Amino acid sequence: MQRRTLVRAAALAPLAALSARAFSQPAGWPQRPVKFILSQPAGSGPDILARYVADQLGRIWNQPVVVDNRPGGQNVIGAQAAARSAPDGYTFYYATTAAMVTNVHTFKALPYDPQKDFVPVRLVGRSPFVIAAAANFAVKDLAEAFAKAKAAPGTVSIATEGPKTFSGMLADSVAHMAGVKLNHVPYTKATDALQDVIGGRVQLVCLPDAALTAYLKSGQIRALATSTAQRQADMPSVPALAETFAGFEYTGWNGVFAPAGTPADIVARVNRDTETVLAQADVGQRMQTLGSLPERKMSVAEFDTFMRGERERWAGVVKTLGITAD
């Protein structure tokens, strides 16, 4: 009798484990299309990346993942729409660092609270920046560029997206650490900035890697440094800023967030399935061509810890640079 009981228990053990796994999954989810709200316009870098990731997830879920573009207001329009969405697991916010971290420091008031209105789901990738020089700017590296700026204050200019944007704050952070003053020349379009650098009207440029790739390959501009902690695989001869300023790393990032109150089991499912997508070699290669380094491992809890660190880090950057909210 005891032997038959043990045999029966052994036979049922796999079924029990299977039932436990099935119970842990959000039953029947998703039963209809899932939506990613995005604060950037169609055709932008974040849009192309979001659509690529959404397509990969849609294949796993056997449901379309639709990207809903809500550009404008420096991410405010899209973030507010996502925060007000029903927390039913069918709407997520595909967000960048600006919307979830830096806007808090550059706006006097926001119609959404990045910390209270959202729960972190999964970091997708990090986007490095590059500081490059005009081909006719006679410097061999960043140290020489800073030396020229020190020797002749006010003569070295750098093209960015504006002093309160990522590229602008990176340029100011590096200049502050080097003890030099660079003239900011803000641009709303990367192409306009690059044309002025190529034409020699501006000496330096600081923009996301993806915006500079074609110009670097053509030799129209020269990379002086990357904002990553280590040298990038596709630019092994270009120093990382951490080689000059120990411990320095400055990258934007993009990730998936859910409206507060979204069921935890759905949040966990999206995290795991996104990890499955990012583990694929071809996905990683494609993301890198789009200017994003895939984050292959990160749990929901680890993403929450990452977000706390980002809020603290950017608060320090803003304080150091003396940036005030408008």
* 246-258 mean pLDDT: 91
Indicate if the pLDDT at residue 12 is higher than 60. Answer: no
Cis peptide before 30 (omega within 30 of 0): yes
Token digits for 51? Answer: 């659509």
Indicate if the pLDDT at residue 123 is higher than 70. Answer: yes
State the pLDDT confidence band at 44, using cuts at 50, 70 and 90. Answer: confident
Q: What residue type is 67 in one-letter code?
A: V
Question: In 230-299, where does DSSP find H-type helix?
Answer: 264-278, 281-289
Residues 6+ apart with CB under 8 A from 12: none
State the pLDDT confidence band at 269, using cuts at 50, 70 and 90. Answer: very high
By C-alpha distance, which of 242, 235, 227 is closest to 168?
A: 227
Helix (H) or strand (E) holding 169: helix 166-178
What is the per-residue pLDDT across 145-163, written as a single tens digit (0 to 9) for each? Answer: 999 999 998 899 999 988 8
Between CA 107 and CA 119, with CA 113 as vertex, the angle to 5 degrees is 140
Report CA torsion sign: 112, 115, 118, 124. Answer: positive
CATH 3.40.190.10 for domain 128-243: yes
* 77-89 mean pLDDT: 97
In angstroms, the CA 258 to CA 87 distance is: 7
Q: In the 8-state DSSP scheme, what is residue 74?
A: G
CATH topology of domain 34-127+251-321: D-Maltodextrin-Binding Protein; domain 2 (3.40.190)
* 83-93 mean pLDDT: 97
Residue bearing the bigger pLDDT, 130 or 23: 130
Domains 34-127+251-321 and 128-243 share a fold: yes
274 burial level (CB within 10 Å; 0-12, 13-18, 19+): buried
What is the per-residue pLDDT across 171-207, written as a single tens digit (0 to 9) for each? Answer: 999 999 999 999 989 998 888 999 999 999 999 999 9
pLDDT of residue 27: 67
Please state, as a whole number, how many other Cβ atoms lie within 10 Å of the Cβ of residue 27: 8
Mean pLDDT for all residues in the chain = 88
In the chain, domain spans: 34-127+251-321, 128-243
Indicate if the pLDDT at residue 6 is higher than 80. Answer: no
Question: Exposure string (b/e) for 244-258, b if CB count within 10 Å is 16 or more?
Answer: beeebbbbbbbbbbb
In angstroms, the CA 255 to CA 262 distance is: 16
pTM, rounded to two decimals: 0.81
In angstroms, the CA 67 to CA 238 distance is: 35
pLDDT of residue 26: 59
Please state, as a whole number, how many other Cβ atoms lie within 10 Å of the Cβ of residue 90: 17
pLDDT of residue 276: 96
* 12-33 mean pLDDT: 56
